């Protein structure tokens, strides 16, 4: 069902900035910090999306996903490994038996500038290779040109092509210009069948910000109140340290609360975040401030 875009809530940027500042002023210490860090870790989509990716690189990443820091007991695994479609097979094999999901970007990622047939094939290929989750991009050009029906139809088609795989819809908020547009795109994506909405490809600056994430969380909340359906949220790109991740969790905690505070409904699209979280967890356990030298890269 195509959503009514005429009466959408609007956003005032100064006000959103102030609200975000309030989240950031929360001081997360001691037990709540450890709890938060572990939660954040379990929500990570450990990502490599490089032109220079190889089988070897992806395998190393998968090993890291399964063995983040074996010295530390009682830590969770990451939620998923996110790769290009060509490495879904590699990842699937490497992660076998680990319960870690394989996510794949698709639909002519990152620009989305291709026709629907190519995008559908891209998606089907990834799903055939064993992807559990598909991260698609919306057609920002069509969106900015006002062709919302086109954007909606495309998402709906991809959703169909996903089959059992979960669909994350990347809005690429860095190209959407305003918070009001972010809300509008969220609305289209949710009504078109997204399981998750996601901020960014990581290829465009700004990537995820707390401001756009806040607007998307607000959209998810309203959607839930209207339809009873819970949509997941994935900020991606630029969340590289624990403090920032905790601030996102504070925001999630205070906007959507308990039911969303797990990897089924919230993910971080990140690569370097994992090691920073690990460093903080080791510090919490040992009391010693850590050096990156003690944490494996991949």
Catalytic residues: 135, 198, 234
The burial class, CB within 10 Å (0-12 / 13-18 / 19+), for 46 is: buried
Among 161, 249, 279, 282, interactor with another protein by CB under 8 A: 249
- Residue 149 as a binder of another protein (CB under 8 A): the answer is no
Span between the terminal Cα atoms of the chain, in Å: 43
Q: Give the nearest distance from C-beta 234 to another protein in angstroms.
A: 19
CB 242 within 8 A of CB 268: no
- For residue 206, whether the previous peptide bond is cis, meaning omega lies within 30 degrees of 0, is yes
Q: Give the nearest distance from C-beta 214 to another protein in angstroms.
A: 9
Site for another protein in 176-195 (CB under 8 A): 178
Among the candidate windows 8-16, 71-79, 167-175, 290-298, which touches another protein by CB under 8 A? 8-16
- CB nearer to another protein: pick between 167 and 255: 255
Q: Give the nearest distance from C-beta 14 to another protein in angstroms.
A: 3
Among the candidate windows 12-20, 107-115, 118-126, 235-243, which touches another protein by CB under 8 A? 12-20
Dihedral of the CA atoms 32, 249, 264, 11 (nearest 10)? Answer: 160
- Residue 27 as a binder of another protein (CB under 8 A): the answer is yes
- CB nearer to another protein: pick between 156 and 230: 230
Q: Give the nearest distance from C-beta 176 to another protein in angstroms.
A: 12
- Residue 131 as a binder of another protein (CB under 8 A): the answer is no
- Residue 56 as a binder of another protein (CB under 8 A): the answer is no
Alpha-carbon span 37 to 23, nearest angstrom: 16
Tally Cβ neighbours within 10 Å of residue 98: 14
- Residue 28 as a binder of another protein (CB under 8 A): the answer is yes
- Residue 16 as a binder of another protein (CB under 8 A): the answer is yes
Which DSSP letter does residue 258 get? G
- Residue 36 as a binder of another protein (CB under 8 A): the answer is yes
Nearest to 83, CA basis, from 154, 134, 140: 134
Among 42, 86, 111, 253, interactor with another protein by CB under 8 A: 253
Tally Cβ neighbours within 10 Å of residue 6: 5
| Strands lying side by side in the sheet with 133-137 | 232-234, 196-198, 166-170, 133-137, 101-105, 80-83, 44-47, 268-270
Query: Contact residues for another protein (CB under 8 A)?
Result: 9-19, 25-33, 35-36, 39, 178, 218, 221, 249, 253-259, 261
């Amino acid at each position: 069902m195509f959503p009514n875009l005429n009466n959408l809530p609007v956003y005032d940027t100064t006000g959103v900035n102030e609200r975000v500042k309030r989240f950031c002023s929360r001081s997360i210490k001691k037990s709540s910090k450890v709890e938060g860090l572990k939660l954040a870790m379990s929500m990570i989509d450990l990502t490599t999306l490089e032109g220079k990716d190889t089988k070897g690189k992806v395998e190393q990443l998968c090993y890291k996903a399964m063995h983040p820091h074996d010295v530390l007991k009682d830590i969770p695994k990451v939620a998923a490994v996110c790769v290009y479609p060509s490495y879904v097979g590699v990842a699937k094999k490497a992660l076998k038996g680990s319960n870690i999901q394989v996510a794949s970007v698709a639909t002519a990622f990152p620009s989305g500038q291709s026709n629907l047939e190519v995008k559908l094939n891209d998606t089907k290929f990834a799903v055939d290779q064993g992807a559990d989750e598909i991260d698609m991009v919306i057609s920002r050009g069509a969106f900015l040109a006002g062709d919302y029906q086109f954007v909606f139809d495309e998402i709906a088609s991809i959703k169909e092509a996903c089959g059992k795989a979960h669909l994350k819809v990347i809005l690429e908020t860095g190209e959407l210009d305003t918070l009001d547009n972010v809300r509008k795109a969220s609305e289209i994506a949710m009504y078109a069948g997204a399981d998750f909405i996601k901020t960014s490809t990581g290829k465009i600056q700004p990537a995820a910000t707390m401001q756009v994430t806040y607007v998307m969380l607000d959209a998810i909340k309203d959607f839930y109140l209207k339809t009873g359906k819970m949509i997941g949220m994935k900020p991606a790109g630029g969340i590289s340290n624990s403090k920032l991740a905790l601030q996102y969790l504070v925001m999630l905690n205070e906007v959507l609360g308990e039911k969303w505070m797990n990897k089924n409904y919230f993910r971080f699209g990140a690569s370097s975040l994992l090691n920073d979280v690990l460093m903080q967890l080791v510090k919490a356990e040992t009391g010693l401030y850590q050096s990156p030298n003690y944490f494996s890269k991949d």
